[in-house]
C-alpha cells in the first residue's frame, strides 16, 4: 500500500471516528435536555455517586499537584520577571491554561479510564443487555450521570486547582524561600478578569463533555472479548487528552487572540 493511500485511509477513518463521537455527544446532550421522566431519581443518585468518586475523592490528588505546580511556577517566574509581571504570568499560566488542562489530565487518569473499563466490563459481561431487558435506557442510566458527574467535578476541581495553585503556591514560596513575592496576591487581584474565570469554566465544561463522551463511547464499543477492555481504556485516555488539548488551544485562540 502506498504511503499516500495509507495517509488518506487513516484520515478518512479519523474523520469518521470524530463524526461518530460528535453524533454520540449530540445524542447525550439531547437526552440531557429532554430529561426522560423514567429513572430520574435513580439517574440523580448515580450522578451524585459519580461526583463523589470524581470530585471529592480526587481532592487528595489535585491539592498536592496544584501546590507543587503553583509553587514551581511562582519560584521560576519570580526570578525571571523580577516580580513585575508575576501576577499576570500566574493568571495566564494557571487560570487560563494549566488549571483546566491539568484538571482534565487528572480526571482522565483517574476517572475516564475507570469509566471506560467499567462500561467495557458491563458490555462483555452482558450487564448492558440485562439493563436493556429491564426496560432501562442505557444512555440515560449509564452515560448521563457520568456526563453530569464528570463535568461538575471538573468545574469544581478547576476552581480548587486555581485557588490552591495561586494561594497555596504563594504560601509555600513565602514560607520556605526568601524570594521577593510580597505584592503577588495584589498583582493577581489586579490581573485577573471575569473573562479569565468565565473562559476557564467554559473550558472545564467542554472538557467534561469531551471526556465523558469519549470514555463511555469506547467502553460501550467493546464487543465480546475481555482483552478488548485495556485497549479501549488506553485509546480512550489518549483520545481524551488529545481532544482536550485541541479544545484548549481553540478556546484560547477564540477568546484571547
In the complex, the residues that contact other proteins under the rule CB under 8 A are 36-42, 45, 118, 121-122, 125-127, 129-137, 141, 223
Separation CA 143–CA 208 (nearest Å): 12
Q: Which residue has the cell 448521563?
A: 144
Q: What is the closest distance, in whole angstroms, from the C-beta atom of residue 246 to other proteins in the complex?
A: 31
Q: Reduced to 3 states, what is the DSSP secondary structure of residue 1? A: coil
Separation CA 238–CA 15 (nearest Å): 17
Q: What is the closest distance, in whole angstroms, from the C-beta atom of residue 228 to other proteins in the complex?
A: 12
H/E run at residue 169? helix 169-176
Q: Which is nearer to other proteins, 73 or 143 (CB)?
A: 143
Q: Which is nearer to other proteins, 77 or 140 (CB)?
A: 140
Separation CA 58–CA 157 (nearest Å): 8
Q: What is the closest distance, in whole angstroms, from the C-beta atom of residue 156 to other proteins in the complex?
A: 24
Q: What is the closest distance, in whole angstroms, from the C-beta atom of residue 134 to other proteins in the complex?
A: 4
Q: Which is nearer to other proteins, 32 or 201 (CB)?
A: 32
Q: What is the closest distance, in whole angstroms, from the C-beta atom of residue 28 to other proteins in the complex?
A: 13
Separation CA 212–CA 116 (nearest Å): 9
Q: Which is nearer to other proteins, 28 or 94 (CB)?
A: 28
Q: What is the closest distance, in whole angstroms, from the C-beta atom of residue 120 to other proteins in the complex?
A: 13
Separation CA 240–CA 246 (nearest Å): 10
- Give yes or no for a contact between 149 and 51, defined as CB atoms under 8 angstroms apart: yes
- Give yes or no for a contact between 184 and 91, defined as CB atoms under 8 angstroms apart: no
- Give yes or no for a contact between 120 and 130, defined as CB atoms under 8 angstroms apart: no
Q: Which is nearer to other proteins, 125 or 176 (CB)?
A: 125
Amino acid at each position: 500500500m502506498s504511503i499516500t493511500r495509507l495517509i488518506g485511509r487513516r484520515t478518512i477513518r479519523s474523520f469518521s471516528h470524530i463524526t461518530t463521537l460528535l453524533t454520540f455527544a449530540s445524542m447525550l446532550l439531547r437526552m440531557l435536555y429532554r430529561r426522560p421522566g423514567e429513572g430520574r431519581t435513580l439517574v440523580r443518585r448515580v450522578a451524585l455517586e459519580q461526583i463523589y468518586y470524581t470530585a471529592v475523592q480526587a481532592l487528595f490528588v489535585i491539592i498536592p499537584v496544584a501546590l507543587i505546580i503553583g509553587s514551581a511556577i511562582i519560584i521560576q517566574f519570580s526570578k525571571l520577571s523580577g516580580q513585575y509581571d508575576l501576577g499576570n504570568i500566574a493568571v495566564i499560566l494557571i487560570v487560563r491554561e494549566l488549571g483546566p488542562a491539568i484538571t482534565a489530565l487528572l480526571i482522565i487518569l483517574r476517572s475516564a479510564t475507570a469509566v471506560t473499563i467499567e462500561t467495557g466490563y458491563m458490555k462483555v459481561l452482558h450487564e448492558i443487555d440485562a439493563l436493556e431487558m429491564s426496560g432501562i435506557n442505557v444512555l440515560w442510566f449509564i452515560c448521563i450521570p457520568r456526563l453530569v458527574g464528570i463535568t461538575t467535578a471538573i468545574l469544581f476541581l478547576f476552581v480548587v486547582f486555581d485557588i490552591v495553585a495561586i494561594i497555596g503556591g504563594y504560601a509555600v514560596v513565602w514560607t520556605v524561600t526568601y524570594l521577593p513575592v510580597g505584592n503577588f496576591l495584589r498583582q493577581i487581584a489586579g490581573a485577573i478578569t471575569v473573562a479569565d474565570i468565565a473562559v476557564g469554566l467554559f473550558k472545564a465544561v467542554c472538557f467534561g463533555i469531551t471526556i465523558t463522551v469519549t470514555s463511555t463511547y469506547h467502553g460501550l464499543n467493546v464487543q465480546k472479548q475481555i482483552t478488548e477492555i485495556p485497549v479501549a481504556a488506553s485509546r480512550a485516555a489518549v483520545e481524551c487528552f488529545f481532544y482536550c488539548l485541541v479544545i484548549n488551544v481553540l478556546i484560547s485562540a477564540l477568546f484571547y487572540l
